[in-house]
Chains A and B, each alone.
Chain A
Amino acid sequence: MAVVFEKTKALTDLKMHYCPGCAHGIVHRLLAECLEESGDVKDAIVAVPVGCAVFANKYFNFDGIQCAHGRAPATATGVKRVQKDKIVITYQGDGDLASIGTCEIVHAAARGEKITTIFINNGIYGMTGGQMAPTTLPGMKATTAKNGRDPAVNGFPLRVSEMLATLDGPAYIERVSVSTPAQVTQAKKAIQKALEIQKKGLGFTFIEVVSSCPTNWGMTPVKAMEFVREKMIPYYPLGVYKDITAEGGK
């Protein structure tokens, strides 16, 4: 019988600990498939965050390092400066990247570190149980904002892709989502492109994935994906924010 589909060998066979409906599994698979298809699994090194993806290094079937909260871009900088010819990726959530690690991501981007950051934005702290994140939408409920995020008290969400796109160091920035099959396909293309640009040594590459957290949002997986489309994406519009390889650059 002909094999029509196989799980990528760039993922291990460990059972993932993610909740039902969590999109980490999708994005893990996309990154793994991209590396397998380009033949880079043997040269890949992933820097994983503190957050739900803290064990991602166990699921990826390539080298990995568990970083301090928010510091993955700094740690990845150290790795990449030593291992210049390897593919270095940080995989971070919004609490990790957009709150405690804002300094590290901004400066890694500004330096044009030749790494790729996959940024999972689901507007909540997942691992610690649903606290407000820097990306929590106004009015969205969290365990530390029980009546919903009040901008008068908690300020406003960060749009990281837009912010980083103002810098000269990044070579490619795209915001994608995985709430529809079409979006998943586009997300894979974005990751592929970012990894290619890293290999060419053109600069920092950043893929933001607008994602969901059914457990901490208190929704079914289907409802959560609807929320992504109806509420999250309008606040975090999808698209390419920076592409120095585009005609005339962007």
Chain B
Amino acid sequence: MAKVLMKGNEAIGKAAIEAGCRYFFGYPITPQSELPEYLSSELPKVGGMFVQAESEVSAINMVYGAAAAGARVLTSSSSPGIALKQEGIGYITNASLPAVIVNMMRGGPGLGTIQPGQADYHMTVKGGSNGDYQNIVVAPASVQEAVDMVMEAFDLADHYRVPVIVLADGLIGQMMEPVEFHYVPKWDLPEKDWALRGKGDGEKHMVENLVMEARECEEWNLAHYRVYRKIEEQEQDWEEYKLEDAEYAFVAYGTVSRIVKSAISQLREEGYKIGLIRPKKLWPFPQKAFDRWDGQIKKYLDVEMSMGQMVQDVAYACNDKHKIEFYGRTGGIVPGVEEIVVFAKKIMGGDK
């Protein structure tokens, strides 16, 4: 298929359809509204269903029902809307159901701003619902990558029976880039024999959330964590950029990683040996990347559109909090190349 020029939000919608998603439940919010708008007209064309819910809370609970009924299902929102969805994300997680949730992040907290941000890292990666749980979190840095990751997200969700969150900053949703769509299923997935579709002549299906006995609830949680350990082993994903001779490494994801790459070009022209570790999944965090390069890296330069929500994960990954320097902008400000270069030089001094 030839490349087509598409806006990020619409490309995500098309990617979902290509991956076999036929159900979307959502609610308008900037900067992701083009996604529900696109799917409201495209899903019916392929026999699918778009429902504009009365709230984010209802939308995610519709997702809960559709996922329980065995469908590939999508919802999307932006930061304050995702905050509202957290209850439902917890229920979906607890019931071991697959679903894909897109968060086109904007600046916060509260109503915040409609400009892009990355300050939902804690809410998404650490869990914004109650209880012990993790969600797989993928972090695209381009429209093409958003397309590929959305397709993979449906496979990951079905394979592990977990919700997958696509965590993108608002820029990814708003920018236009050439994209192509090649959905190749990652696994040969089994029939969803647990899904609610009426018991027919067989045993009844139950999707449950309340576990009255503490011991049983602990067992339930531990079963989830056995899946999480598997995911941590199998699904770490990252990009290594100009690390071969690097003595310093930026750590950045999403749009910021692209700005950081421009900064790296400039710094390398001046002789600095600096590269980038870009997490493509934020959970599981790419521990293996740090294990691989930590020996030669003197300092990690964490750059984010937040006040440093990823820093703790970088510190844990390299096991030395003194090796981390942070630079971030908040409240919807996208950092420029120049300020990142200045920050990096301040850390590296004349160390070329």
Residues of chain A at the chain B interface (Cβ within 8 Å): 41-45, 47, 50, 54-55, 57-58, 61-68, 71, 74-83, 86-87, 103-104, 106-107, 111
Shortest beta-carbon distance from B54 to chain A in Å: 4
| Interface pair A75/B210, CB less than 8 Å apart | no
Q: Which of B46-75 contact A (CB under 8 A)?
A: 49, 51, 53-55, 57-59, 61-71, 73
B154: CB under 8 A from chain A? no
- Chain B contributes a number of interface residues (CB within 8 A of A) equal to 39
Chain A residues with CB below 8 A from B207, complex form: 64-66
Which of A61, A79, A111 is the one whose CB lies under 8 Å from B196?
A: A79
Name 17 interchain pairs, CB-CB below 8 A, sorted by A. A65-B196, A66-B95, A66-B209, A68-B64, A68-B88, A71-B58, A71-B88, A74-B53, A74-B57, A75-B64, A76-B65, A77-B25, A77-B62, A78-B68, A78-B73, A79-B68, A104-B61
B91: CB under 8 A from chain A? yes
| Interface pair B61/A81, CB less than 8 Å apart | no
Which of A44, A78, A107 is the one whose CB lies under 8 Å from B65?
A: A78
| Interface pair A65/B198, CB less than 8 Å apart | no
Complex Cα distance, B54 from A149, in Å, reads 31
B230: CB under 8 A from chain A? no
Shortest beta-carbon distance from B262 to chain A in Å: 43
Which of B54, B62, B67, B198 is the one whose CB lies under 8 Å from A86?
A: B198
Complex Cα distance, B94 from A68, in Å, reads 11
| Interface pair B69/A78, CB less than 8 Å apart | yes
| Interface pair A61/B61, CB less than 8 Å apart | no
A43-B23 contact in complex given A64-B207, A79-B68, C-beta closer than 8 Å: no
A63-B61 contact in complex given A79-B66, A79-B69, C-beta closer than 8 Å: no
Chain B residues with CB below 8 A from A47, complex form: 65
| Interface pair B49/A81, CB less than 8 Å apart | yes
Q: Which of A64, A71, A77, A82 has the most CB of B within 10 A?
A: A82
Complex Cα distance, B202 from A61, in Å, reads 11
B188: CB under 8 A from chain A? no
Which of B25, B198, B208, B210 is the one whose CB lies under 8 Å from A78?
A: B25
Complex Cα distance, B58 from A77, in Å, reads 9
B294: CB under 8 A from chain A? no
Shortest beta-carbon distance from A93 to chain B in Å: 15
Determine the residue in chain B with the shortest Cβ distance to A40.
B198
B227: CB under 8 A from chain A? no
A-B pairs with the 6 shortest C-beta distances?
A78-B65, A78-B66, A74-B61, A82-B69, A75-B65, A78-B62
| Interface pair A78/B61, CB less than 8 Å apart | yes
Complex Cα distance, B99 from A75, in Å, reads 14
A81-B206 contact in complex given A63-B197, A65-B68, A74-B53, C-beta closer than 8 Å: no
Q: Which of B245-297 contact A (CB under 8 A)?
A: none
Which of A50, A62, A76 is the one whose CB lies under 8 Å from B204?
A: A62
Chain A residues with CB below 8 A from B298, complex form: none
Shortest beta-carbon distance from A91 to chain B in Å: 14
A63-B65 contact in complex given A71-B58, A82-B71, A103-B54, C-beta closer than 8 Å: no
